[in-house]
Every structure is written in structure tokens, then in C-alpha cells.
Chains A and B, each alone.
Chain A
Amino acid sequence: MIRVFVPRDSFALALDGDAVAAAMAAEARARKLDIEVVRNGSRGLAWLEPLVEVETPQGRLAYGPVTPADVASLFAAKFHEGGQHALALGPTAAIPFLKNQHRLTFARCGLADPLSLADYRAQGGYAGLAAALKKSPADIVAEVTASGLRGRGGAGFPAGIKWQTVLDAPGDAKYICCNADEGDSGTFADRMLMEGDPFLLIEGMTIAAIAVGAREGYLYIRSEYPQAIATMARAVELATLGGYLGKTIQDTEHSFTLHIRTGAGAYICGEETAMLESLEGKRGMVRTKPPIPALEGLFGKPTVINNVLSFAAVPDILARGGTAYAALGMGRSRGTLPFQLAGNVKHGGLVELPFGATLRLLINDFGGGTASGRPIRAVQVGGPLGAYLPASALDTPLDYEAFAGASAMLGHGGITVFDDTVDMGQQARFAMEFCAIESCGKCTPCRIGSQRGVEVIDRIRKGDNSSANLALLTDLCQTMTDASLCAMGGLTPMPVLSALKHFPEDFQPAAKAAE
């Protein structure tokens, strides 16, 4: 039997992946070929999706992007035996975009049916849990601390310190919460992982639960990710049936029950305390800190809150040791980060690399430049609250501290490329508009400031008393930065001020008119 892989990741589904899979199965039947169509996760080569692979004696060969109309000609070319075709890409592992990555978290993603527990175990899955079950809680936390793992959600807080705080907190009820409210534009790594390797996330959360003494966990997934929700829900059922969740995990005294909760279209619920409110069935209003969630989190109990990629990094850290993980990276940014190449880039997708690579390497060498073929003008790193950097800043190393030094942030590793047709005044206005739409409304600088920000930028762009209004905008941004309760209002000035700093010409109506 020949195995053919057609991804069921949203990238492929949004490009007729189901129709391709159905056509493959139908064509195989018509030709009386013994072919099994496996629906795998995505390998992360988004521009080639649906990326169809076939297992051959020479390894896995790739074809893409495949449309339903290509299926008949692929069979005619005997692609199932590795035949030549206009869409042939050769061995998947040799495609430079994949070959030049250093995948730890995404090592397994896209290799197999994401809902096959047997495949997961055959590919090294649950080795991290096995290692954790042999350790004391304090030793598990020590391993995570030794790895140097920092929160992958954006803030970069050391995971070991957070876990230690929860471990040391008194109380019988503690919770593990996974923030899968991946709302930042330009990011899709959480989604890909949940759709492509769901047991890895479950394993990471289970290890966290054992480390801090939690028996219940919540996975909060945004409603915009129906495929991730369905995949995770099924994976939780399968893990429970397999003795990896529920009571007496792997016949030990540990128990861990995992609940999945669906967001409802509120960007602010990616902020950890707003997420807690939402998990409690309330409006997603930000909480004041302190108390920190590690001490008073979900339902007022000590709670570990981490991002999908943070939990997903943990099994490898336990399986191979914290020091092996820490050997990668630069400065205080240890290990790898799954970067996401997005926007106007020719070869977009997921690129996992140790910290320290440059934007230029990612965008030019991996990304192949812009999709439009026009020059790069601006790059927004770290989502809607991240800075817009000019093409001259592409040599900045991708490291938390280096980005902070450049008045920017790495965030969740999303990199959105814009070509020279972008109007940066319009982008700055959008940053304020987005904040106005998505603000929870609890604090004034964010709720009112964002609305006033839109109005002031409109006046500047119309040439209405520009210099006075520019001063007002700068002052408003300072107020939002200093006085907002959370990162939503506090960081919205980052895209605005970076656009103003690097692209002042786009805020002058005269220049616009002259175009």
C-alpha cells in the first residue's frame, strides 16, 4: 500500500484541501490503486499548500500547491511512485525552507495523522512525560528553569520562575491554563501546532500539572480556529482513553483533567487576566495586578498560564534535559522560536530557528522577499502591538533584548512584511482603530485614548494643524504607554510611534497629494 499525505491543517483547508483529498481517494479507486490518503498536519510551507506528499522507498516526496484539478494529471504522471510532474518539489526534507530550520517544537508537526496516538508515541511522543514521572515536582521545575524557557506568548517571562511560584503557593486547588487565544495578526504557530501535533500540547500541560500539583486544566482556544478546536477536543478524548489524561495517569497517583473552552471573538482575551475572566464565564475585562495569577488566578486559585508554544516546548526539555535546550539561542533568549513569516512575503510559513537569526535571513533567505516582487518598505514584528521597522533595520537579531533595544518587540514571533505600496499613516491609524474596537474598556487611556488617537491621526493626515496635532499624538501615546492597565493600551503606541519615527513622510498630506 502507498501512503499519500494531504494536510488537514487550515492552510490546506482554505485552499480546497478537502476537495484535493477526496479527488485523490476517488482517482485511486478509479485506477484500482492501493493508496491510503492520510490527513496530516502542515509542514509549514504555507505557499505550497495543499502540499501533497507521497511515501516512497526514497523517502517522502512533495508536490504542491495542488488543486483538485491537478489530481488526475498527478496520477497520470505516476506521482504515487515518485513520478515527475510540474508540481514536483523533490524530497520534502530537502526543500531548503525546511532543511535550513532547526525544529524542536515543530519537529513532528505534519509528519503523521495528528490524531494517531500510536504515531505520536512512535515518533518520540510522551518521552517527556515519562521523564517527568520519574522526577519530583521541584526537579521538573528545575529542569524547566535550567532550559531558560521564556513565555512564548509575547512577554517572555521565565517559565521556570512562574511554575516555581505556583508550586510554592499554598492551597489544594491549582490550575493549568493554556492561552490559545492567538489573536495577533501575522501569527499562526499555535494554530498549526494544535491542528498538527495536539498531543504535544497535552503532554506539556500534563507535565506542568504534575510539576505544580494541579489536577485540572483549561485550554482557551479562539473561536476563529474551528479546526484547532475540533482537533484538540478529539485529542483530549483519545489521550484520556489512552491513560494520558484523567485519573491515575500512566498508572501513577497523578490525575489531570483537561477542559477546552472556546473564546468568542475578543482579542483582549489573549491578555492573561482577561482570559481568566472569560474562563470564569464573564466579560473579558482585564484584572489589575497584583495579585499575580500565579498566586490568585482562575477562580482565585494559584494558576500557571502559558502560551501553546511554551507548553509545547516542555516535553523536549524534559526528554533531552534543560541544558540541551539552553545550548541553543543567544543572550537571555534560549532555545528556539517558531517564527511565522506572513503578509507580503513570497514564501510564507513557519520557520523554527534558534534565537539570534536576523530578520533579513528570515525574510530574504527563507521568505524569498516580497510576494509582489516590489521592495520591502516595512516589517511589523510581534503582532498588532509590535513596532513597524524600516528595511534598514533588517539586521536586528531576533532576540528579546535586541528587539527591546530597538524600541520593538519580538512578541509571539510573527513577522508581517509590507512592500512599498503601504501607507504607514493608514497603518498607524489602523493600530489606534483596532485598539478602540478591541479595548475591554476598563481603563481610560486605552478606551478613550485609542478613539482620540484615530481622530488625531485623521487630522494630521488631512493637514489640519499638523505640527500641533503631531505633538498631541506623541503626548497621547505617552499617556497610553504609562497609564494603561495592560499591554493592549500600553503597547498600541508602539506601532503608531514607530511608523511616525521611521516613516514621517507618510503623515504629511502634501506628500500624499503629490503622489
Chain B
Amino acid sequence: MSQKPPTPAVDTALAIAAQHGNRPDALLEMLHEIQHRLGFVPDAVIAPLAQTLNRSRAEVFGVISFYHDFRRQPAGRHVVKVCRAEACQARGARATEARLEQRLKIRTGETAPDGSVTLEAVYCLGLCAIGPNLMVDGRLHARAEGKRLENLLAEITS
């Protein structure tokens, strides 16, 4: 492929790779950090990263697409992860998810058109005795129903 001039995103990705000694086995760690810094993993970093790690572009792309955590587009300003797994189901998670979809006016897996919020499914946050559980912008919230849920929603949508 033709060489494109490096972009800030590519510089960031290659600097992160270098911090990990350009070890291909550290690819997941690199992708986590790239996403943390840039908000997502831009397609533009795939080829340079592959070349640096001596992997094929298909292999790097394959890793990004395999794992649920990695996103190829920016998420909303808030990211709400709702647990859909059994222990939360037993404690009313389906109602919590329905309420989130209703108030945020998006379905699970979608980002609001104005970019304000992304609603995602997660399968277990390890708080199975005190569900329904959410993770909002990296923070955990248990018993996400009733007033606690409404307060959270008010914060997210304000």
C-alpha cells in the first residue's frame, strides 16, 4: 500500500506500541491504551501498527473486530453499559434496560444521534448479588432501578 504521512493518531499508536517494546503479544494492551487516549481505535492506525508488530493488517484488524471492547468509531460523550446477564435478569435487569432505552431514546448497541450517549450491553460486572448493575463512564452502579436509576439518568441526560 502507499505510504501515507503520519497523523497524530498514528504517532500516538506507535508511541504506545514502543512503550510495550513493540511486542506483538501486548497488542490488546496497546489497543486499550490507544482507545483510552483517542476514544476509539481509528482504522488509520491498523497498517502502521501491523508493520511495527510484524503482523498482517488482517491480524490486527481481526483482533480489533473480535473483542467487544474495541470500537472503530467514537462513542457518545457518556457510555452506559447495562448488564444483561442472568443474575441481573433475576433482579429486574430487563426492566432497567427497557427504561434506559426509553429515556435515552436509543436501543442497546446504539449511540444517540446527537452524540450524547452510547448504550451498550455488558455480560456481568461481578456484582451479581446487588443488581441490576450498570457501568457509566467507567464507574459502577448497583441497584440501578427506581429512584437510583432515575437520578443516574438525570445526570446522564443533563
Contacts and interface: CB of A to CB of B under 8 A. Distances in A.
Interface in A163-189: 182-188
A418 interface: yes
Given A263-B28, A264-B68, A265-B68, A14 B128 contact: no
Interface in B47-63: 53, 55, 59, 62-63
Contacts of A380: 86
Interface string B1-29: 00000000000000000000001111111
Interface residues of A, number: 60
A3 B86 CA distance: 38
A376 B139 CA distance: 32
B128 A281 contact: no
Contacts of A416: 86-87, 90, 128
Closest 7 CB pairs of A and B: A348-B129, A185-B85, A264-B67, A342-B128, A281-B27, A343-B90, A265-B68
A343 B128 contact: yes
A438 B121 CA distance: 12
Nearest to B133: A14
B68 A266 contact: yes
Q: Which interface class (under 10, 10 to 19, 20 to 34, 35 or more) fits B? A: 35 or more
A10 B139 CA distance: 10
Nearest to A182: B126
B124 A184 contact: yes
B91 A343 contact: yes
Contact of B140 (A13, A47, A284, A414): A13
Nearest to A285: B66
A78 interface: no
B128 A348 contact: yes
A264 B130 CA distance: 24
B63 A283 contact: yes
A281 B88 contact: no
A45 to B, nearest CB: 9
Interface in A405-449: 414, 416-419, 422, 427, 430, 434, 437-438, 440
A31 B33 CA distance: 43
Interface string A77-96: 00000000000000000000
B125 to A, nearest CB: 5
Interface in B77-122: 83, 85-91, 122
A186 B87 contact: yes
Given A185-B124, A281-B27, A348-B130, A262 B87 contact: no
A341 to B, nearest CB: 6
B125 A262 contact: no
Contacts of A267: 123
B54 to A, nearest CB: 11
